[in-house]
Amino acid sequence: MTDYRAPVNDALFTLRQVGMLDELTKTQRFAHVDEETAASVLEEYGRFMQEVFGPTNAVGDRVGLQWSPEGVHVPDELTRAYAKFVEAGWQGLNAEEAYGGAGFPEAVFVLGAEFMISANGALSMCPGLTTGAIECLQEWGSEEQKEVYLRKLVTGEWTGTMNLTEPQAGSDVGLATTKAVPQDDGTYRISGTKIYISFGEHDMAENIVHLVLARTPDAPPGTKGISLFIVPKFLVDEDGSLGERNDVKCVSIEHKMGIHASPTCVLSYGDDGGAVGFLVGEEGQGMRAMFTMMNSARIAVGVQGVGLSEVAYQQAWQYAQDRRQGREIGGESKEPAPIVVHPDVRRMLLYMRSHVEAMRALAVYNAAALDLSRALDGEDGERWREIAELLTPVTKAWCTDVGCEVTSTAIQIYGGMGYIEESGVAQYFRDARIAPIYEGTNGIQAMDLVGRKLPMRMGGVVTDFIAEMRRVDARLEAAGDDFTTIRTNLAAALDALEEATGWIMTNGLADPKEALAGATAYLAMFGQATGGWLLARLALGAHEELAAGSDRTDFLESKVVSARFYADHYLPRVAGLLGSVRAGAGDLYALDVAGLASS
C-alpha cells in the first residue's frame, strides 16, 4: 500500500478560499493566527500524522484490543504513537490559551483532524473525544474543575469520554436511568450502565475523565431531569496526584465491523457502592452542557468522512496507475494498459476527488462559521451562529454518507483485490461505516435539519443562506466559458433546493410527518448543492490566482476541473431528489407492520 501523505496544499487552499481566515485573524480571539502560522502548523501536523500515526493504522486494525477484568490493552505501537502526540502538544491545538491550549480556530483544527483521521481513524477517536470533554469543561466547569481536570485534558496526559448511551437509551437520551445520589460532602454517587463508550477504558493514559449523564433523585422525566457529572477513573488528591481507583469498570468491549483499535466499552458504575461523581454546572443542565460541544462534535464526525475518503482516494489513485488490465481505448499499444486510462476508472477517481474536495470545503466553512459566531459580537456573531447551526447536521450526515460511498468506490477501483483484506483498502470502508450512525444517526440529522433548523427565524436563516449561495453567480458569469456549466447547473440545483425548502416548510406546518418523510432526501439535496457552491468558490479562487500569474498551474487548473466535473455529473442529481422530498408520508404508512414482512 502507498503511504498516506497529508494533503497540506489542498488544506491551505481550502482554508484560504472558504475558511475565512482573513476575517478570523481580524478578530481579537484569533488575531494570533495568521496564514503563515496556520500553514506552518498544518505542515508540521501533517508530517507528524503521516510519520507517527500512519504506520500504526494497519497494526491496530489487524491486532485489535485485549480486554481483561483489569482493563483494556491497546497495541504497543499505538500507545507509543499517542505518547509522542502528547509530547508534541497537539491535543490543545484549539483549546483556550488560559488553560494551556494554542487557541487555534476550528477551521484550522478540522483540517488537522482530517490528517489524523486519514492516518489512523481508530486512534483519532481518543484525541477527538478528549477535545469534546475539553470544550464542555471550558464552558461549564467550575474554576476548581478546570484546574484539576481541564489542564490535564488539554495536555493529553488524561483523556476524556462522553457517557450518554444506555441499553434502553440510545438516540432518546431522555430515557437514561443512571442514578446520581447527592452526598453530604457535595459529591454524588453514580450507579448504572453505559454502553458504546469509545475509549472508555485503555492503557494509553494515566487517567480517564468520564463525563456522565445521570439522573438525580426526584428529577423530572425526560431530558429536563438529566445532569452531567465528572467521574474520573482515578480520583484526584488535593495535591493533584492520582488517588484510589473509582468505582467504574469496563465489563466488556464490542467486537465491531471496523475501528478495531478503538475500544468501544460497556462501563458499569457503582458495583461496589457508587462511583464518586462531581456535578458539572447545575442539576438538570446536563443536556445543555452536552449541546455546548454538539456542533463541534458533529462537525468532527463529518470530518471522519473526509479523512477516510481522502486516504482511500490516495490508495485508489496509486493502484489505478500500477494495475494493468485491458488495452487503452483508441491506443496503439497491444500491451495491457494501467487501468487509470480507462474512462470508467477516470470517472470513479474524479467522483472521489471532487467529493473529497467538496466535503473538506463544507467542514471548513461550517467550522469557520462556528469560529466567527464565537469571535464576533452582536448581529454579526448571531448571523454566523445561525449558519453554523443550519449547516451542522448537513456536515455530519452528508459527509459521512458520502464517505461510505467514496471508500466503497476505492474498493471498486481495486476490483477483486479490494475485497481482499490484505490490500488494506477495505479497512477504510469498514472504519467509515460507523460514522453515519454515532453522534446522532443521519436520519436524526435530517429530522433536525427540517424540524429545527429550517424554522429558525421563520425560515429566514435558510432563505438567507440560499440567497448567499446565489451571489456567486455574477463571479461565475465573469469567469468565462470554462465556468458556464458550473454556473448553469449550480443555478438549477439551487432552484430545486429552494423549491424543496418551500414544500417542506409549507407541508411540514400542516403535518410534520410529511416533512420528515422527505427529510433524508432533502438533506442530500442540501449537501450536494452546498458542495457544488463551495467547489465553485474554490474553482473561482484558482482562476483568480492563475490570472494573477501563479505558477501552480497544474494544481489550480485541477480545481476548475473538479468543480466542472461535479457540476456536470452530480449537481443535476439535486433536482432528481425533489420528487422524493415531495412524495410525502402516504406510502410509508400504506402498509401496516405485518404488511411490511416478506412473503
SS (H, E, C) 351-413: HHHHHHHHHHHHHHHHHHHHHHHHHCCHHHHHHHHHHHHHHHHHHHHHHHHHHHHHHHHHHHH
Q: Domain range spanning residue 332?
A: 293-438
Co-location of 287 and 298 in the same domain:
no
Q: Which of 240, 264, 291 is the last residue of a domain?
A: 291
Co-location of 399 and 457 in the same domain:
no
In a domain, 597, yes or no: no
Q: What is the CA radius of gyration of the chain?
A: 24
C-alpha–C-alpha distance, residues 509 and 505, integer Å: 6
CB 494 within 8 A of CB 469: yes
* Given 357, 439, 514, 545, the catalytic residue: 439
Co-location of 191 and 81 in the same domain:
yes
CATH number of the domain to which 313 belongs: 1.20.140.10
Element (DSSP H or E) covering residue 469: helix 460-470
- Report how many domains make up the chain: 3
Q: Which of 384, 406, 438 is the last residue of a domain?
A: 438
Co-location of 153 and 213 in the same domain:
yes
CA atoms within a 13 Å half-sphere pointing along the CA-CB vector of 366: 30
In a domain, 115, yes or no: yes
Q: What is the pLDDT of residue 247?
A: 97
Element (DSSP H or E) covering residue 481: none
Q: What is the pLDDT of residue 396?
A: 98
C-alpha–C-alpha distance, residues 36 and 22, integer Å: 12
Co-location of 372 and 494 in the same domain:
no
CB 16 within 8 A of CB 541: yes
CA angle 379, 385, 386 (to 5 degrees): 90
Co-location of 322 and 195 in the same domain:
no
Co-location of 428 and 463 in the same domain:
no
CA 20 to chain CA mean position, Å: 19
Q: What is the pLDDT of residue 390?
A: 98
Q: What is the pLDDT of residue 160?
A: 97
Co-location of 188 and 225 in the same domain:
yes
φ/ψ of 71, rounded to 5, equals: 150, -160
Co-location of 211 and 90 in the same domain:
yes
Co-location of 141 and 252 in the same domain:
yes
φ/ψ of 279, rounded to 5, equals: -65, 135
In a domain, 599, yes or no: no
Q: Which residue(s) pair with 163 in the sheet? A: 212
Q: What is the pLDDT of residue 290?
A: 85
Look at phi and psi of residue 459 and say left if phi exceeds 0, alpha if psi is from -120 to 50, else beta. Answer: left
In a domain, 595, yes or no: no
CB 195 within 8 A of CB 229: no
CATH number of the domain to which 207 belongs: 2.40.110.20
pTM of the model: 0.97
C-alpha–C-alpha distance, residues 184 and 530, integer Å: 54
Co-location of 49 and 184 in the same domain:
yes
Among residues 525, 506, 512, which one has the least CA distance to residue 581? 525
C-alpha–C-alpha distance, residues 256 and 438, integer Å: 13
Cell of 252: 466488556
Whether 439 is catalytic is yes
Query: Using N-to-C axis directions, what is the helix angle for 553-569 and 484-510, rounded to 10°?
Result: 50
Look at phi and psi of residue 360 and say left if phi exceeds 0, alpha if psi is from -120 to 50, else beta. Answer: alpha
Q: What is the pLDDT of residue 135?
A: 95
Count of beta carbons in the 10 Å neighbourhood of residue 463: 16
Co-location of 425 and 469 in the same domain:
no
Q: What is the largest CA-CA distance in the chain?
A: 86
C-alpha–C-alpha distance, residues 338 and 422, integer Å: 21
Q: How buried is 139 (Cβ within 10 angstroms: 0-12 exposed, 13-18 middle, 19+ buried)? A: middle
Q: Which residue pairs from 128-131 have beta carbons closer than 8 angstroms and sit at least 24 positions apart in sequence?
A: 128/300, 129/159, 129/160, 129/161, 129/162, 129/198, 129/199, 130/91, 130/156, 130/158, 130/159, 130/160, 131/91, 131/94, 131/95, 131/160, 131/296, 131/300
In a domain, 2, yes or no: no
Count of beta carbons in the 10 Å neighbourhood of residue 7: 23
In a domain, 382, yes or no: yes
Q: pLDDT tens for residues 27-79?
A: 999 999 999 999 999 999 999 999 999 999 999 999 999 999 999 999 999 99
Q: Which of 291, 313, 339 is the last residue of a domain?
A: 291
Which residues of the chain register pLDDT less than 50? Answer: none
In a domain, 517, yes or no: yes
